[in-house]
Structure 1
Amino acid sequence: MSETSETGVLRTGVQVDGESASYLTVEQDGPAVLLLHGTYWSRVWLPVMDRLAEAGLRPIAVDLPGLGRSGGELTLKTATVPAIADWVTRFASALKISGPIAVAGHDIGGAVAQHLLVHDVLEVSRLALVNSVTYDSWPAPHVARFRSPGDAAGATADDVLDARRRAVTAALAGAATEQLITDYLEPWTDARVRRSWMALAGAADSRYTLDLAPALRRSTTPKLLIWGEEDAFEKVEYAERFASEIPNTALVRIPDAGHIPTENAPGEIARALVDFFTA
């Protein structure tokens, strides 16, 4: 089923591994830009998608399996960064996306994007990271608390929803309103999505980004970091380190923005992405 917003952003789906993979896009010709979320869902990219489309790009913000509006359910095995990266390549294949593609990742989606680049799983032409996990910056405490099998098994629906509400409220920073918080939380009212999210939390491991660092230092692919400076989860110091150590990397800092800066400064972030992806 497809639905179109007033901005022209369309939610539609495609079959991957026998399940529906839901994604936001603007249906038009133009270079594809693959937008990956992490512990949230494709909603994090919605504020910038229309502006990317206006620049002639074809933005595609997919919901990972079992999360957001996608079908299926993640397990500890399928929720690892390498496993999700492999799924993303199957998603791209289902959309018949071939050739070099620009990729942007937020949160753990940034780890997946880095993995795609380093392991050449998908031919990545340009890499943008928005308040992404890097090095040993993750998992954040509010995610790590669900890594223990005992804690995960004992977590009630109210426990998960309360934890997600507090995390979303902090991540939205000054953009947080009750309506926006409710909008972000809606997928977690589904027990299947809560189980998938806890699998993602359980599989969260900083070795997946630490192991990529040597190859990233050798990479010549253009990279852009966009960072909300008030992020209490993925601190801007990690972005500064990445920019100083990884070649061909530029850093755009977003003052007074939190972990989901697309909600705080969509115009500024969209301009930075457009300039980068159309260079």
Structure 2
Amino acid sequence: MPQTTETAVLRRTVQVDGHDASYLTVPQDSPVVLLLHGTYWSRVWLPVLDLLADAGLRPIAVDLPGLGRSAGELAPDTAEVPALAAWVTRFVDALGLTGPIAVVGHDIGGAVAQHLLMAGDLNVERFALANSVTYDSWPVPGVARFRDPEVVAAVTAEELLTARRQAVTAALAGAATEPLVTEYLDPWTEARVRRSWMTLAGAADSRFTLELIPALRESPVPKLLIWGEDDAFQRIEYAERFAAEIPNTRLVRIPGAGHIPMENAPDAVADALVEFLTT
């Protein structure tokens, strides 16, 4: 799939619950692909947006409330996965999208995607996960520690930014450069976003994925897993288990890629998504 030389990606906003919800998109009259982030932000999807659009799809990568470029601030109840899934449903309604859509989730956004699939409030016709949380694979230690209120109360802005720098650098794997890491970290320079992120981390709970397994086994919706094989956060063994246990699931491995394979191998990720979503 050829790379585009000029990006057609735009950042837009729409009102959800009285706050601006920010999202990246290539606006065109095409089948919608809703792309969800987790402990990062919509920036994780940027490398593949033009590629998806060139293949005749309409990618929409939204920032969850209080994160990335979206306004508002998460609270403990609104940061739980089912509440985030309900918010995404309201975001889709605010955009006026009424037809069938494809949903793709990365990291904790994959837990949100699983809830969207099983809740039935959206017409999800295709479903994909990219290095997502599944089963009891989460929260990882760097996230789980923020479940302790004393940790949240004591952490300084500098400490959180240092921790996020380390996590982002590891997640980007071979794609990590100082300019790219700095770009990823930019939203966390805002206190409101730091608070929202810690609230999201504090609400991380594997029961939100474990409780869906019986229903996922009964789901007829086609499912795709795209996995960077070198991910130290969400190990590929979990993807292998999901593919083996959940019917209608195919696993695509991305050799040499880490937790954010969209940065390590955008062509391979986009090719896998396009083949899955357009056939």
Task: Map 1:143-182 onto structure 2 (within 5 A).
Answer: 143-182=143-182
Partner of residue 98, structure 1: 98
Partner of residue 190, structure 1: 190
Amino acid aligned to 2:113 = A
Report if aligned partners of 1:100, 1:124 keep a CA contact under 8 Å in 2: yes
**Equivalent-residue separation in structure 2 for 1:130 and 1:121 (angstroms):** 22
Structure-1-length-normalised TM-score? 0.97
Per-residue CA shift, 1:228-247, capped at 9, x if unaligned? 01100100000000000000
Give the C-alpha shift of residue 99 in structure 1.
2.3
Task: Map 1:29-178 onto structure 2 (within 5 A).
Answer: 29-178=29-178
Partner of residue 218, structure 1: 218
Structure-2-length-normalised TM-score? 0.97
| 2:214 corresponds to 1:231 | no
Amino acid aligned to 2:200 = L
**Equivalent-residue separation in structure 1 for 2:239 and 2:174 (angstroms):** 21
Partner of residue 200, structure 2: 200
**Equivalent-residue separation in structure 2 for 1:106 and 1:254 (angstroms):** 14
Q: Structure 2: which 5+ residue stretches go unaligned?
A: none
Deviates more, 1:119-128 or 1:107-116: 119-128
Per-residue CA shift, 1:215-267, capped at 9, x if unaligned? 00111100000000110010000000000000000000011111001000000
**Equivalent-residue separation in structure 2 for 1:99 and 1:27 (angstroms):** 16
Partner of residue 11, structure 1: 11
Give the C-alpha shift of residue 153 in structure 1.
1.1
Report if aligned partners of 1:89, 1:121 keep a CA contact under 8 Å in 2: yes
Per-residue CA shift, 1:1-21, capped at 9, x if unaligned? xxxx94010001000000000
Partner of residue 273, structure 2: 273
Give the C-alpha shift of residue 147 in structure 1.
1.3
The percent of aligned pairs where both chains have the same amino acid is 73
Q: Which runs of 4+ in 1 moved over 2 A?
A: none
**Equivalent-residue separation in structure 1 for 2:41 and 2:59 (angstroms):** 15
Partner of residue 249, structure 1: 249
Amino acid aligned to 1:45 = W
**Equivalent-residue separation in structure 2 for 1:122 and 1:82 (angstroms):** 14
Report if aligned partners of 1:35, 1:105 keep a CA contact under 8 Å in 2: yes
Give the C-alpha shift of residue 108 in structure 1.
0.4
Equivalent residue pairs, number: 275
